[in-house]
Amino acid sequence: MELGIASVAAITVIAYLAGMACRIVSDDIIPNKAIPVICGIVGAIFGIVGMYVMPDFPAHDFINAMAIGIVSGLAATGIDQINKQRKKLN
């Protein structure tokens, strides 16, 4: 059984890139606390797109595809936070 891990990782990478792009913009336009929400929304959108475009995508219905996308998008925020916390320890 294929789980489509590569497609989920691709959504995480795209959402991470969207979050990094938001950080470039001034805090007056996009505050830092909005970045996880933006990553989740980007993930949801690409989760739905992935369901239709990727043959090995792990979801075959709208709600599960959106949920997988949201979790993947929020995982991008978690990856960023892990890197920040690791730098604080050093």
**pLDDT value at residue 11:** 93
- Domain ranges in the chain are 5-84
**pLDDT value at residue 3:** 59
Q: Answer whether 0.75 is exceeded by the pTM.
A: yes
Would you say 43 and 70 are in contact if contact means Cβ atoms under 8 Å apart?
A: yes
**pLDDT value at residue 4:** 66
Q: Could you list the mean pLDDT of each consecutive 10-residue stretch along the chain, which spans 90 residues?
A: 74 94 86 92 96 89 95 91 82
Q: Give the closest residue to 46 by CA, choosing from 74, 23, 21, 88.
A: 74
